[in-house]
Chain A
Amino acid sequence: MSDQTDLLQMFKVVAERVDKKSFADVTRESVITDLGVDSLSMMQIVGEMETELDLQIPDEDLVEIVTVGDLCTKIESRMEA
């Protein structure tokens, strides 16, 4: 399984835990607001993923995240750094 798939899978698991609903059909192209995820849940999902991966996305990058893929890309770039 590639890193990309891993992160997408991790997003689904964390989002389900935070928002208590299924995110099974989510793809990297999914727009986060279209998934019914509000600002605070979004901050929680990002925070949970950061904790699990032991990294931190800079605050200024958070507002650039529109799709699930954007979030995965931000995380990937921190993993490579």
Chain B
Amino acid sequence: MPRNTPRRRIEEKLYGTYMEFFEKAERERRWSVFDDIPWDEANPEASEDLAICAETFASVEMFLPDYTAGGLNVVRDYFGRAWFQANWGYEESKHSLALGEWLVRSGKRSKDEWFDLQENLLQARQWVPPFTTARQMTAYGMIQEQATFLIYIKHRERARLENDACLMKIYDYVARDERAHSKFYQDVMKVLLAEDRDGTLADIAHVLAHFKMPGVELVPDYDDRILKMRDAGIDRNVFIRKIYLPVLKYLGVSRHEMLAAQRKAIESQQAGQSSGQSATQAAE
């Protein structure tokens, strides 16, 4: 088997990226649902809005079986990324668990309501990966995890204002995990950019053009829920200031380079559409 191939080069670099991520996770970032959350500091008087937000996040996190299955299938041939995905699944599993436990232990939801929600969600809907290649899914993860990190940071503040030290701590741990996941994806994208800059930029542009947070299509009544969450969500300025520009800067991509890639992506999409139309017309 030839060893000096671009794929092998990428795999060796990504193995190093994963080991760096995993070492930090093991040594500095591990937390326990049983030992590290101050459950007795949950505030039963906290508002229903706070509960709705936590329930919405728990609902989105609940699709973990789909996320892990979909994510792993896309990267199963790539060691570093596949092992990351397995570790990611473990870390994410604690997120829905901790948020669900908070809903029940704080008295905001009964156990029956919590189990009803689980059943309703997973039986009614299924998450389908929004992109088809490992590189596009990595670009998607990079943006989505960074956005999720910022949302949890905002909700940590909201929990603090409602004197719920328990929920605050949960958001603290969860946000830290999400940030680490985004950072891993950004590091992977850097390696991929070094190997194939044009192709990787095209994939980032494609993902940005079609980006949607996963909750939109998964959680029932999402539009009503988002009204309660709006002031703790992400507006245009936050997206530009805390996601778009910092991520591009970290990747070493200028706004104008990204813009050129976006233009190319749109042109190729339009070319694809018109050739699709021609094919349809010919078939007719």
Chain A interface (Cβ within 8 Å of chain B)?
Answer: 32-33, 38-40, 42-44, 47-48, 50-51, 56, 59, 62-63
Contacts and interface: CB of A to CB of B under 8 A. Distances in A.
24 contacts: A32-B236, A33-B235, A33-B236, A39-B236, A39-B239, A39-B240, A40-B209, A40-B211, A40-B244, A42-B240, A43-B240, A43-B244, A43-B255, A47-B255, A47-B256, A47-B259, A48-B259, A50-B256, A51-B259, A56-B256, A62-B245, A63-B237, A63-B240, A63-B241
B121 interface: no
Q: Which interface residue of A33, A39, A62, A63 has the most chain B CB atoms within 10 A?
A: A39
Contacts of A50: 256
Nearest to A32: B236
Contacts of B259: 43-44, 47-48, 51
Interface size class of B (residues with CB under 8 A): 10 to 19
Given A33-B235, A51-B259, A59-B245, 13 more contacts: A39-B236, A39-B244, A40-B208, A40-B209, A42-B236, A43-B244, A43-B255, A43-B258, A44-B259, A47-B256, A51-B256, A56-B256, A62-B240
Contacts of A56: 256
Contacts of A33: 235-236
B236 A38 contact: yes
A39 B240 CA distance: 7
Interface of B: 208-209, 211, 235-237, 239-241, 244-245, 255-256, 258-259, 262
Contacts of A38: 236
Nearest to B234: A39
A51 B258 CA distance: 13
A23 B240 CA distance: 22
B216 to A, nearest CB: 14
A41 B239 CA distance: 12
A50 B260 CA distance: 12
B204 to A, nearest CB: 11
A53 to B, nearest CB: 13
B180 to A, nearest CB: 24
A18 to B, nearest CB: 9
Nearest to A48: B259
A51 B255 CA distance: 11
B262 to A, nearest CB: 6
A38 B245 CA distance: 15
Contacts of A51: 256, 259
A63 B244 CA distance: 11
A59 to B, nearest CB: 5
A62 B243 CA distance: 13
Nearest to A40: B208
B85 to A, nearest CB: 27
Q: Which interface residue of A38, A43, A44, A47 has the most chain B CB atoms within 10 A?
A: A43
A71 B244 CA distance: 18
B102 to A, nearest CB: 31
Contacts of A43: 240, 244, 255, 258-259
B243 to A, nearest CB: 8
Contacts of A44: 259, 262
Contact of A59 (B209, B255, B262): B255
